[in-house]
Amino acid sequence: MMTDHYPLNWDLDVLYPEPSTAEFAAVFDAFRADIQKVAEASDQLPPVSGAAEGVTVWVEFFQNFEDISSRAHELHSFIGCHCAADAENKCYQQFEASLSALMPYQQRMATNLEFALKDATDAEFEAFLAAAPQLADSAFFFGEARRHAALRLPKPQETLFADLSVDGLHAWGRLYDRISGELRVEVMHKGNVVRKSPGQIRLDAPLREVRENNFFAATKAWDSIAGSCADALNHIAGTRLTLYDHLGLEDHLVVPLHENRMQRETLDAMWSAIDARKEVLVTYLQKKAGALGLEKPAWYDLTTAYPTNVTAKDVTYDAAVQKIVETFARFSPDLGEFAELACAGGWIEAEDRGGKRQGGFCTGFERHKQSRIFMTFTNSEDALSTLAHELGHAYHSWVLKDQPVMLQDYPMNLAETASTFAEAIVAEQRLAGTDSRDEKIAILDSMLGDAVAFLMNIHARFQFENEMHLQRKQGELSPEQLNNLMLAAQRQAYCDALADDGWNPNFWASKLHFYISELPFYNFPYTFGYLLSLGVYKLSQDSGGDFPKQYREFLIATGCMSAENAVRSTFGYDLTQPDFWNKSLDVVEQRAQQFLDLIAAT
């Protein structure tokens, strides 16, 4: 049964004590002592084989490794949540840095484990897995760890790199988080200049003058820290390129492809299919610009609504939650019950206030079998979609909560499938639930806006990041050079569909995804997940009532299979071929055609 009022703030205290307390200091000190012990034990691991004595040592170590890994993840998530909700809190920032300083111990454990697995013969590895059920249950994890050893430097160098990364690679990521979290945009509000966080600046205002002013105010703010952002980006990319060179890797895409458990053929097939079918989105943007009285749209016109007789209404947080819960439940009672549990249980930080970091995320607490969602709810349909998106992430973790600890982790591209699938459920239900032509136009406009974001905006990010890495090999890039790279990437990805003065060259500075030091090329998995979710949703429409069960099986497979095998084993498609991607793009074209037919009839 749904509640009448849902909390706007999350409850973190049920997970761990508040970071400023002595109780949390004790938790942190215990973790620090334990992670050091487990790291030291990893130095003494016996060779991988089926020998009973060695297997006993490995089983004990692996239990401790699972325990310390889950504790590390939870503490990173916990402190990350506090930092996101209170971006200028020095205590939280200090713990964030302290946790980062312990990362070399995690690297040390992983390195020792991976090298031990790498040194074993295939026969020894198979005997090792067969020697104990605790090892056999996590066979996929051990196989992935063995393959990942190929991306490691020799052990002494790997250890040194991990130590240096605390004040090097990851410090640059933390610097960006700090300066972007402290950044304020000065805008006019009721005759006064007010200072807002970047996440509070909206570019979807009905009045073009308002969104134009907001855009240029934000641009001015980001320009003021562009030099520091360029430093961070240069050194994050430069560190990675140096590492890749020492590893002898083919290029800068080897690691992100490995991290996403996907093949290069899959990535190429996806982008090729997208490139061949963007024309319908160009037509959509042209028609929308015409309705707005423009020859071509500018960047700040892309997210504003297509003009209709539908009056944009504020969507309260309670109404948004109720809509999501009801819609999820129509697809799957299990999904609906989960959404109610998360929203009523204090899992979500949604309040619209200053001092929060920009963006949104979902992070898991596997030991507590809970998640936490961070966002800024702006009383809009867009915010409703964001909430559905993040709840999709949380449901993914919920489905995996009873799997072995090391099989609850899944790559980002498959994570984005679950989240965008949740968005699709809400959007399609909204479309089917109205007979109003104007409402249908508004809903389809929102859907096509998402398509532009995933198939054009993120494509621009990928092209920028790819070219930036290529040019970074020759030396550091200035803010002006980065602006030029971003402008060229946007022109190509958007098929030159925007006005000559309507681009966003300093987008590289404001997009935090470029600065995540733990994961390279953070952007393309969103497009992968978007298209995969569209294809999966189409399959759900064509299948019988057992699809929710099949969907759960797919989510479980994401923790213990490659991206290609997870899809092939549950849905029967080969992602290295264009068939599935074109099936997904058919959905985009159908939506676009429905939109064009409706506006032609008005």
Residue-wise pLDDT tens digits, 256-296: 999 999 999 999 999 999 999 999 999 999 999 999 999 99
Within 13 A of 7's CA, how many CA atoms are on the CB side? Answer: 16
Number of other residues whose CB lies within 10 A of the CB of residue 206: 11
Answer for the pair 328, 529: CB distance below 8 angstroms, yes or no.
no
Average pLDDT over residues 392-420: 92
Q: What is the pLDDT of residues 426-445, one digit of tens each?
A: 988 888 888 899 999 999 99
Who has greater pLDDT, 185 or 168?
168
| Helix (H) / strand (E) containing 195 | strand 192-196
**At 544, is the pLDDT very low, low, confident or very high (cuts 50, 70, 90)?**
low
Helices (H), 436-546: 437-452, 458-472, 479-493, 507-510, 524-542
pLDDT of residue 505: 97
Cβ neighbourhood burial of 121 (10 Å; 0-12, 13-18, 19+): exposed
Angle, alpha carbons 567-568-569 (nearest 5°) = 95
Q: Is the Cα torsion angle 294, 300, 306, 312 positive or negative in sign?
A: negative
> In whole numbers, what is the pLDDT of the chain averaged over residues?
93
Instruction: Extract the tokens encoding 513.
Output: 């995804």
Q: Which residues are paired to 487 by β-bridges?
A: none
Structure tokens at 187: 């805008």
CA–CA distance, 550 with 192 (Å, rounded to integer): 55
CA–CA gap between residue 549 and residue 42 (Å, rounded)? 40
Helix and strand numbers (H, E) in the chain are 25, 5
The two tokens of residue 517 are 């030091």
Amino acid 346: pLDDT: 96
Instruction: Name the token pair of 574.
Output: 């080969």
> Taking 90 as the threshold, does the pLDDT of residue 162 lie above it?
no
Q: Which residues pair with 185 in a beta bridge?
A: 196
Angstrom distance (rounded) from CA 507 to CA 488: 12
What the block records as the tokens of 95 is 């713990």
Give me the mean pLDDT over the 393-409 stretch.
95
Least confident span in 299-303, 343-347, 358-362 = 358-362
In this prediction, what percent of the chain has a pLDDT beyond 90? 78
Q: Which CA distances in Å does 510 have to 461, 477, 495?
A: 12, 17, 22
Using the 8-state DSSP alphabet, how is residue 311 labeled? Answer: P
- The confidence score (pLDDT) of residue 56 equals 97
Q: Is residue 485 a contact partner of residue 461, using CB atoms and an 8 Å limit?
A: no
Read off the pLDDT of residues 193-219 as tens digits, 9 standing for 90 and up.
Answer: 888 888 777 888 888 988 999 999 999
3-class state of residue 188 by DSSP: strand
Residue 189 DSSP label? E
pLDDT tens for 435-474 read 899 999 999 998 999 999 999 999 999 999 999 999 999 9
Quote the pLDDT of residue 578.
94
Helices 479-493 and 458-472, interaxial angle, to 10°?
140
How far, CA to CA in Å, does 578 sit from each of 123, 494, 581?
Answer: 37, 21, 5
pLDDT at 18 over 90: yes
What pLDDT score does 598 carry?
A: 95
Whether the per-residue pLDDT at 1 is higher than 70: the answer is: no
Is pLDDT at 311 greater than 80 in this prediction?
A: no
Q: In this predicted structure, what is the pLDDT of residue 163? A: 87
pLDDT tens sequence across 359-386: 899 999 999 999 999 999 999 888 998 9
CB 455 within 8 A of CB 582: no
SS3 460: helix
Strand ranges, E, within 299-428: 348-349, 361-365, 370-374
pLDDT of residue 602: 65
- Work out whether the CA dihedral 495, 497, 499, 505 comes out positive or negative: negative
Burial of 544: CB neighbours in 10 Å, binned 0-12, 13-18, 19+:
exposed
Q: Which two tokens stand for residue 172?
A: 């640059």
Mean pLDDT score, 383-411: 94
| Backbone phi and psi for residue 192, each to the nearest 5 degrees, phi listed first | -120, 150
The pLDDT value recorded for residue 13 is: 96
* One-letter identity of residue 318: D
Q: How far apart are CA 312 and CA 545, in angstroms?
A: 35
Pick from 5-19, 164-178, 299-313: least confident: 299-313
Instruction: Give the number of residues written for the chain.
Output: 602
Return d(Cα 505, Cα 215) in angstroms, integer: 12
Give yes or no for a contact between 510 and 225, defined as CB atoms under 8 angstroms apart: no
- Radius of gyration of the chain measured on its C-alpha atoms: 24
Q: Give, rounded to a whole angstrom, the gap between the first and last alpha carbons of the chain.
A: 41
What is the DSSP track for 25-90?
HHHHHHHHHHHHHHHHHHTTPPPSSS-HHHHHHHHHHHHHHHHHHHHHHHHHHHHHHHHHHSTT-H
The closest of 580, 175, 602, 282 to 417, measured between CA atoms, is 580
